[in-house]
Amino acid sequence: ENEEGKFLRYCVNLVYLYFSKIIFRAKIIVHNHSMKDSYPLDSIVVNTPYPDLRQYISTEKNNDVLFPCSLNSDEPIEAIIWTCLELEKQGYKSQITGDFKKLPEEIQEMGAPFFSGYISKESYFELLGQSKVMVCLTSRKKTLLYSPREGISLGLKVIMTSSQVNRDFFGEKATYVDSEDGLAELVINAIE
């Protein structure tokens, strides 16, 4: 992804892919047509399938909303925490996945009770299956989010960052947000 401040990495990746195509006769596969159209090298579109997670579908919905996070810099973690605090005030339960130690100290000091910490894949799917709504946010505009596929596979209402890449892939299966403003209200409406 050709992001601000990442141009050198982008160029190195393009050179690597170009030589892989020539030397190894490799084919470049991308997620969808938005990615293909923005890519300078010839590529093939292969839509990543939705996972089969039927064994994790639960009738017990112990959690109202799950924010699956890597807690990397592209996630608006402060807005997510603020949303969780707002939901908690109104009696809703929310969880944020990810390694809490990756967060800045001032956020760690808040001692937010809704952080699950890093959990195994199996525990993550179980928690997801017990949730009503999934919210996936990123500041990147050209990144196709993967985790919404898991929520959609489990029948959850999914709210995610609006981008052309996400809209092309997920279509009407999700609700899209352009900013975190009013996110708590949108989540509450999805829960009800």
Residues 64 and 131 sit within 8 Å (Cβ to Cβ): yes
What pLDDT is attached to residue 145? 92
What pLDDT is attached to residue 129? 97
pLDDT (tens digit, 0 to 9) for every residue of the chain, 192 residues total? Answer: 566 677 888 889 889 989 998 999 998 888 777 777 777 788 888 888 899 999 999 999 999 999 999 888 889 988 999 999 999 999 999 999 988 888 888 777 766 678 888 899 999 999 999 999 999 999 988 788 999 999 999 999 999 999 988 998 999 999 999 988 899 999 999 998
What pLDDT is attached to residue 121? 94
What pLDDT is attached to residue 14? 86
What pLDDT is attached to residue 3? 64
What pLDDT is attached to residue 52? 96
How far is the C-alpha of 26 from the C-alpha of 29, rounded, in Å?
Answer: 9
What pLDDT is attached to residue 78? 87
What pLDDT is attached to residue 2? 63
Q: Can you spell out the DSSP letters for the chain? A: ---TT-HHHHHHHHHHHHHHHHHS-PPPEESSHHHHHT-SS--EE-PPPPP--GGG--S---EEEEE-----TTS-HHHHHHHHHHHHHTT--EEEES-GGGS-HHHHTT--TTEEES--HHHHHHHHHTEEEEEE--S-SSPPPSHHHHHHHTT-EEEEE--HHHHHHHGGGSEEESSSTTHHHHHHHHH-
What pLDDT is attached to residue 168? 87
